[in-house]
C-alpha cells in the first residue's frame, strides 16, 4: 500500500527525514535567477502596464519576480481572482517533491532527488551504481524529451523504474541505515519552504505531495515505498509504481479517503517541475479553477516553449519558494 498523504500540514514536517538534510536556511541565501527572457518575462508585463489599455493590475506586479515567465498574464490574474472569491476553504495544494520543493542545484552543484540519495550512497555497491547510471543515461533523455508525448514515454518510464527497483532490491538494503544516509546527502529544501508550509498550516489548506522517489526517504508522501523483511532488509517495492508520468490523483488515491476528505476543495494550486506533473490533479472532482506553477530547472532554451504552453507560470532556474509564497498570500486575500 502506498504511503499515505498528509491531509493537513501539521503532521508533515516532523516526518521528513529531509529535516536534517541541509535545511535551506542552514546555508547562506542563494538566488539563481534568469533575467533575459524578455519575450515572456516580467519586463514585457511591466511595459504593458504603462499602456492605459493594458491590464491594470497589482496582482501581476506582486508575482513579477525575475524568474517568472507567463504566456498569458491576464489569464493568471483571472484565475487568482476567481480563487480569491471562492475563499481559502475551497483551496488545496498539490505538489511534486523532487526539484520542486527541493533544490535542483546549490552553488553550481547538482542536488540529488530522493532516489539518487540512495543510488549514490555507501549502501549501494559500485557495480550497482554503474548499472543505475546506465539506466539514467538511457531513460532520462526520453523523460525530458519535449518532442515525445506522455503516452509514448509511459511504458518506458515503467521499464526504467522497474529495472531500477530490481537492482535496489538485490542490494539487500537495511532499513535502519536510511536515516543516516539522508543526513549524509546533499539534498536541500528550497529557500522559503518553511514559510510555504507555515502559510498552509495557519490557514488549514491541505497539501498533497506526490513523488516518484522513495517513500522511505520521505514519509507521509504518495511515493514508491519499500517493503522490508523481518530482519529489516529490503525485499521488494510495494504498491502501485509511481513515476513521473502517472502521478494522477485518480490513480494513486482512488482507494483512499482523500477525495471524500477534500470534496469541497475545488480550487487547485499545482506546483511541479515536469510536464508529467501536470496530471497530478486529474482526479479532482468538480474542479473549478487550477493555477499551475512549473519550475524549469534545466535545458531552459530547449524546453521553455513547451513549459509556457503547459504551465500558467514558469519559474526559470529559481531555487526559492518566493513565487509560490507570493501566490499564497494573494490567494489568502479577499477578492477586491
Q: What is the set of active-site residues?
A: 96, 98
C-alpha cell of 285?
472532482
Q: Scanning the structure block, which residue is given the C-alpha cell 502521478? A: 247
In terms of DSSP bridges, do strands 234-238 and 222-228 run parallel, antiparallel, or are they unpaired?
antiparallel
Strands (DSSP E) found in the chain:
68-69, 91-96, 105-106, 109-110, 207-214, 222-228, 234-238, 267-272, 289-296, 313-316
Specify the length of the chain in residues.
336
Q: Scanning the structure block, which residue is given the C-alpha cell 535545511? A: 23
Dist CA 72 CA 40 (whole Å): 9
Contact of 56 with 45, CB cutoff 8 Å: no
Report the number of secondary-structure helices (H) and strands (E) in the chain. Answer: 12, 10
Q: How far is CA 323 from CA 2, 191, 212, in A?
A: 30, 11, 24
Amino acid at each position: 500500500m502506498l504511503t499515505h498523504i498528509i491531509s493537513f500540514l501539521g503532521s508533515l514536517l516532523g516526518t521528513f527525514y529531509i529535516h536534517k538534510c541541509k535545511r535551506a536556511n542552514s546555508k547562506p541565501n542563494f538566488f539563481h535567477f534568469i533575467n533575459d527572457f524578455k519575450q515572456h518575462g516580467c519586463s514585457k508585463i511591466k511595459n504593458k502596464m504603462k499602456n492605459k489599455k493594458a491590464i491594470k493590475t497589482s496582482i501581476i506586479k506582486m508575482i513579477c519576480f525575475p524568474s517568472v515567465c507567463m504566456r498569458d498574464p491576464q489569464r493568471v490574474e483571472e484565475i487568482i481572482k476567481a480563487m480569491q472569491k471562492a475563499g481559502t476553504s475551497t483551496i488545496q495544494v498539490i505538489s511534486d517533491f523532487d526539484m520542486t520543493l527541493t533544490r535542483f542545484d546549490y552553488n553550481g552543484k547538482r542536488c540529488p532527488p530522493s532516489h539518487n540519495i540512495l543510488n549514490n550512497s555507501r549502501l549501494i555497491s559500485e557495480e550497482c551504481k554503474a548499472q543505475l547510471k546506465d539506466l539514467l543515461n538511457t531513460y532520462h533523455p526520453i523523460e525530458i524529451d519535449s518532442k515525445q508525448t506522455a503516452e509514448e514515454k509511459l511504458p518506458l518510464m515503467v521499464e526504467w523504474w522497474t529495472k531500477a527497483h530490481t537492482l535496489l532490491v538485490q542490494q539487500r538494503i537495511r532499513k535502519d541505515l536510511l536515516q543516516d544516509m539522508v543526513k549524509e546527502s546533499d539534498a536541500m529544501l528550497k529557500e522559503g519552504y518553511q514559510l510555504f508550509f507555515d502559510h498552509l498550516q495557519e490557514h488549514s489548506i491541505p497539501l498533497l505531495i506526490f513523488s516518484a522517489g522513495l517513500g522511505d526517504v520521505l514519509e507521509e508522501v504518495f511515493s514508491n515505498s519499500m517493503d522490508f523483511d523481518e530482519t529489516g532488509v529490503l525485499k521488494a517495492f510495494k504498491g502501485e509504481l509511481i513515476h513521473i508520468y502517472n502521478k494522477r490523483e485518480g490513480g494513486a488515491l482512488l482507494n483512499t479517503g482523500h477525495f471524500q476528505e477534500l470534496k469541497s476543495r475545488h480550487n487547485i494550486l499545482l506546483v511541479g517541475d515536469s510536464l508529467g506533473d501536470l496530471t497530478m490533479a486529474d482526479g479532482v472532482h468538480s474542479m473549478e479553477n487550477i493555477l499551475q506553477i512549473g519550475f524549469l530547472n534545466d535545458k531552459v532554451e530547449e524546453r521553455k516553449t513547451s513549459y509556457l504552453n503547459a504551465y500558467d507560470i514558469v519559474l526559470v532556474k529559481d531555487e526559492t519558494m518566493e513565487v509560490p509564497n507570493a501566490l499564497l498570500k494573494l490567494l489568502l486575500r479577499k477578492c477586491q
